[in-house]
Structure 1
Amino acid sequence: MAAFFRVGILGFGGGPSSIPLVHQETVKKYQWMDEEEFADTLAIANTMPGPIATKMAGYIGYRVTGIVGCLAALLATVGPTAIAIIFLLQLLQEFKDIPWVQFMSLSVVPVVGVMLAVMTWDFAKKSGESLGWVKGLILIFLALLLMEVLNLHPAILILMLIVYVFLPKRRS
């Protein structure tokens, strides 16, 4: 799967930085899923252990073409990264004191920041449109408070929301 090969080869900065790339490939380019399905996949993948890009690639590959798709997506995600990391880190170690190499390494950070900000804004808009802006903003700020101030792990927050959804509703 070329989509996951691109994610594997271009996903600098770790799993979270590859999420916008996965989103671009699976939702916007190939339309294998819509925004809601992607958000659900991301939420569930965040609750499980392991690298996020690998979990998402495995599930999406399976969803598109079954077991073969799952294996192809996993190999396409992990293979190039493993080969590239060995090669590139060796090169960076050899040339780490050269100013342009230092600049190149540091320049990746703001690009990843912008990619994450764009994805965050897309999810915030989707929350506002589907839940209503007041409820969406309350949930965003509540999640921010729980995760950043109280150091609650995102997986615990997501599990709490899943449990809440399945609680019996009282009719008033």
Structure 2
Amino acid sequence: MKQRDIFMAFFRAGMLGYGGGPSSIPLVKKEVVDRYKWMEADEFGDVLALANALPGPIATKLAGYIGYRVGGFRGLLNGLIGTMVPTIFLMILLMTALNSYKDQPWVEGMSKAVIPVVAVMLLTMTWEFFKKSTQSSLGWVGTFVFVVVSLVLIQAVHIHPAIIIFALLLGALLKKNSPAKEKGTPSP
């Protein structure tokens, strides 16, 4: 049953995630966090950040890791197959059909209509992650400052987002591994 659930979760996300990996992220989150409850939203955010820092397609990295975590090696295979089969099937089917009608105005309109839908899905997921991060020790102000500093580093200084994500993960690991200070003990 669990192996079938892994396959179906990633199959559904692959079937409905038109527009590539980024458009399927909210769908994967819906399946993994909301429907099957294989992980919490915070943990999904951590997995997503790590997957974004690694090279390759995001959908297959998420499917492989989550599938392995939930169902071992067979889960990894089911997650990957569930993610790739719809893409392969739809690519062959749609490219054949769209190639026949590529000069029609309705095909161009359909392609342009997908962009705002994907943007709204990504913004919704970003807002959920932002709200959760404000409940951490950073709070609203710290989260806002972190977002602004990250945006400046990426846009103005041209630092690759993977470096910022790596620095964030490194900071979180260092903070997690540092000994907790006892209350009332003066710091040196």
Same fold (TM over 0.5): yes
Are positions 1:63 and 2:76 aligned together?
A: no
Distance 2:19 2:148 in 1: 26
Residue among 142, 155, 158 paired with 2:162? 155
Residue among 95, 103, 117 paired with 1:111? 117
Unaligned runs of 5+ in 2: 1-6, 180-186
Residue among 83, 92, 97 paired with 1:86? 92
Residue among 5, 8, 11 paired with 1:5? 11
- How far residue 81 of structure 1 moved from its aligned partner, in angstroms, is 0.2
1:43 equivalent in structure 2: 49
Distance 2:87 2:162 in 1: 26
Distance 2:156 2:59 in 1: 26
Residue among 132, 138, 141 paired with 1:134? 141
Letter of the 2:157 counterpart:
L
Runs of 4+ residues deviating >4 angstroms? none
TM-score (norm 1): 0.92
Taking a change above 3 Å as real, the CA distance of residues 69 and 90 of structure 1, as seen in their structure-2 partners, is same
- The Cα RMSD (Å) is 1.8
Distance 1:30 1:150 in 2: 41
TM-score (norm 2): 0.85
Distance 1:2 1:99 in 2: 34
User: 28-37 or 149-158: which moved more?
Assistant: 149-158
- How far residue 74 of structure 1 moved from its aligned partner, in angstroms, is 0.2
Distance 2:37 2:171 in 1: 30
CA shift digits 1:7-56 (9 cap, x unpaired): 11111111111111111111111111101110110011111111011000
1:21 equivalent in structure 2: 27
Residue among 143, 164, 170 paired with 2:171? 164
Unaligned runs of 5+ in 1: none
Letter of the 2:88 counterpart:
A
Structure label with greater radius of gyration: 2
